[in-house]
């Protein structure tokens, strides 16, 4: 999972992208990068590195990123590891001069890499599947026989990607001297929104456009930067903004809509709106839906919680509405050290375990002797939740229950979330009782699938990690997982 943002039409494009990246930081913390293009001087500028946005950029670097078009990326590695060669944006000189960022994952990356090498004599240098997309894009644009690049040429190149690339992906491409391109995978698995704003008279003169446009993984960045949200890109839709501000759009290849449900549960920030659903509202609904499942357990005496405790940060909103509906006090007694990275995002079980110990401290005086109902967004590998349950018990809790706003995750994700190996999933081939035993919890309550769908308020979702029904062919998935692990191991050697 990553955060992407692209801006065109303002002389402060890279500065806006930088601010947008700060707001998308929760989507990945491995690396950050910005590419800018100056239409007047016909030059690209770039800066990228490993680390968080505020570590990678300073005022001096930002001032160098001149231009009226810019792309930015904050990375969470799913393919490849955390090496500088994998850091986005990626660029290629021919044709035109292309810069590219993406959020997502190609299930058939390794097959594509092989094919590009064998059939097109194109070498992929990085372990980043984006480089395959960039090469497909470049090859598609080269096929054009037109003198001037047209929108038809662009859609021709994107259709080549749609034909070849299997997975979930949202992509932004800067085309030197031409404009900014955005497209979303044919199932709309990964998110992408766009918006526009009128420029001030002074800015109009400076940039030569009357409007600026912004594409982003989430609407929070648009709101902050003063862009009016137009809408989410449709699955399989291509939008191109030319350097003069002309807007071209076309739905090229729309399959079944399958937006990732995990965005609502975990990844998106609550102030964002995705597919017209406000994430904060969805999480409030999730708390209510969980309450409906928990009420009968309390009525029958199976669980008797004294307090409801959110596992910070994501589950807070749901825990509040759960507490309101059940009439049980809400207490924030797990105190987060805000300077530690989100543990789910760290790549090995050892580093995740250490991170849990560092990042949460229990308020023992409020926990001692009580029956605690923990609320978490999801239990994926179970490493984090198990440690938290242990920590709450060590602080003197009488009983510990855990409720999650996500149904059991029993299947791998091949579309951009880092849980591709089923054996790593705590719910894999286990009943809820077995999971509770594994977690050393007195009871585990999972959100039902119906409750989840009701809370999100839409059905055209990807639910594959819950149901095992994949919207996009994953036959290349097993070899993908093995190869990915091999790449990561080799990088560590």
Residues that bind ligand SF4 (CB under 6 A): 168, 189, 260-262, 413, 415, 417, 462-465
State both tokens at 380.
């994926």
Nearer to ligand SF4, 189 or 402 (CB): 189
Cβ contacts of 301 within 8 Å, gap of 6 or more: none
Nearer to ligand SF4, 14 or 282 (CB): 282
Q: Catalytic residue among 2, 260, 406, 462, which?
A: 2
Nearer to ligand SF4, 323 or 343 (CB): 343
Smallest gap from residue 191 Cβ to ligand SF4 (A): 11
For residue 282, give the H/E element and its range: helix 279-299
Nearer to ligand SF4, 374 or 462 (CB): 462
Q: How far is CA 333 from CA 66, 188, 375, 390, 461, in A?
A: 47, 38, 12, 14, 34
Nearer to ligand SF4, 69 or 171 (CB): 171
- The span from the CA of 310 to the CA of 323, in Å, is 10
Smallest gap from residue 461 Cβ to ligand SF4 (A): 7
Sign of CA dihedral 253, 255, 258, 260: negative
Furthest-apart CA pair in the chain: how many Å? 77
**Tokens 């405790």 sit on residue:** 309
Smallest gap from residue 224 Cβ to ligand SF4 (A): 25
Would you call 2 a catalytic residue per the annotation?
yes
**Tokens 């999730």 sit on residue:** 286
Pick from 437, 380, 373: nearest CA to 408: 380
- The span from the CA of 414 to the CA of 477, in Å, is 7
Q: Do the beta carbons of residue 81 and residue 487 sit within 8 Å?
A: yes
Pick from 480, 7, 487, 9: nearest CA to 244: 9
Nearer to ligand SF4, 53 or 379 (CB): 379
Q: Do the beta carbons of residue 73 and residue 3 sit within 8 Å?
A: yes
Smallest gap from residue 255 Cβ to ligand SF4 (A): 14
Residue 118 CB neighbours (<10 A):
9
Nearer to ligand SF4, 175 or 462 (CB): 462
Nearer to ligand SF4, 262 or 401 (CB): 262
Smallest gap from residue 153 Cβ to ligand SF4 (A): 31
Q: DSSP for 346-408?
A: SSSHHHHHHHHHHHEEE-HHHHTT-EEEEEES--SSSHHHHHHHHHHHHTT-SEEEEEESS--
Cβ contacts of 207 within 8 Å, gap of 6 or more: 9, 10, 11, 68, 199
Smallest gap from residue 465 Cβ to ligand SF4 (A): 3
Pick from 387, 427, 385: nearest CA to 407: 427
- The span from the CA of 290 to the CA of 315, in Å, is 12
Smallest gap from residue 388 Cβ to ligand SF4 (A): 22
Smallest gap from residue 133 Cβ to ligand SF4 (A): 18
Pick from 139, 177, 144, 150: nearest CA to 238: 150
Active site positions, annotated: 2
């Amino acid at each position: 999972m990553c955060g992407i943002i692209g801006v065109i039409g303002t002389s402060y494009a890279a500065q806006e992208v930088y601010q947008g990246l700060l707001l998308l930081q929760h989507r990945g913390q491995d690396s950050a990068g910005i590419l800018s293009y100056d239409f007047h001087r016909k030059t690209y500028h770039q800066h990228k590195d490993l680390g968080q946005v505020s570590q990678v950029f300073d005022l001096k670097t930002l001032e160098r990123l001149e231009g009226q078009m810019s792309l930015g990326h904050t990375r969470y590695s799913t393919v490849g590891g955390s090496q500088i060669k994998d850091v986005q944006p990626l660029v290629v000189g021919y044709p035109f001069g292309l810069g590219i960022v993406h959020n997502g994952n190609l299930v058939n990356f390794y097959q594509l890499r092989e094919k590009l090498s064998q059939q097109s004599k194109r070498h992929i240098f990085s372990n980043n599947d984006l480089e395959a997309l960039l090469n497909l894009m470049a090859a598609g644009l080269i096929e054009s026989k037109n003198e001037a690049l047209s929108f038809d040429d662009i859609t021709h190149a994107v259709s080549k990607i749609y034909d070849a690339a299997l997975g979930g992906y949202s992509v932004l491409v800067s085309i030197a001297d031409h404009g900014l391109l955005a497209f979303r995978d044919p199932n709309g698995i990964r998110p992408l929104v766009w918006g526009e704003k009128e420029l001030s008279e002074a800015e109009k003169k400076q940039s030569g456009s009357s409007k600026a446009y912004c594409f982003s993984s989430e609407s929070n960045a648009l709101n902050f930067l003063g862009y009016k949200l137009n809408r989410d890109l449709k699955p399989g839709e291509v939008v191109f903004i030319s350097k003069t501000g002309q807007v071209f759009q076309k739905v090229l290849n729309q399959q079944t809509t399958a937006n990732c449900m995990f965005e609502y549960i975990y990844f998106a920030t609550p102030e964002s709106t995705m597919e017209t659903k406000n994430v904060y509202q969805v999480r409030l609904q999730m708390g209510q839906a969980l309450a409906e499942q928990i009420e009968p357990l309390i009525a029958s005496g199976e669980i008797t919680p004294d307090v409801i405790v959110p596992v910070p940060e994501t589950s807070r909103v749901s825990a509040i509405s759960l507490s309101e509906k059940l009439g049980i006090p809400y207490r924030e007694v797990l105190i987060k050290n805000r300077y530690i990275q989100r543990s789910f995002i760290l790549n090995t079980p050892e580093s995740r375990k250490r991170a849990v110990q560092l990042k949460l401290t229990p308020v023992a005086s409020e926990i001692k002797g009580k029956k605690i109902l923990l609320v978490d967004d999801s239990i994926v590998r179970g490493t984090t939740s198990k440690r938290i349950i242990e920590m709450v018990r060590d602080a003197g809790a009488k009983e510990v229950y855990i409720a999650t706003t996500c149904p059991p995750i029993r299947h791998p994700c091949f579309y951009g979330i880092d849980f591709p190996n089923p054996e790593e999933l705590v719910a894999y081939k286990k009943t809820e009782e077995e999971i509770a035993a594994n977690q050393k919890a007195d009871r585990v309550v999972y959100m039902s699938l119906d409750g989840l769908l009701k809370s999100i308020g839409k059905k055209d979702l990807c639910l594959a990690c819950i149901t095992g029904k994949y919207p996009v062919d994953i036959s290349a998935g097993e070899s993908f997982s093995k190869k990915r692990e091999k790449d990561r191991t080799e990088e560590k050697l």
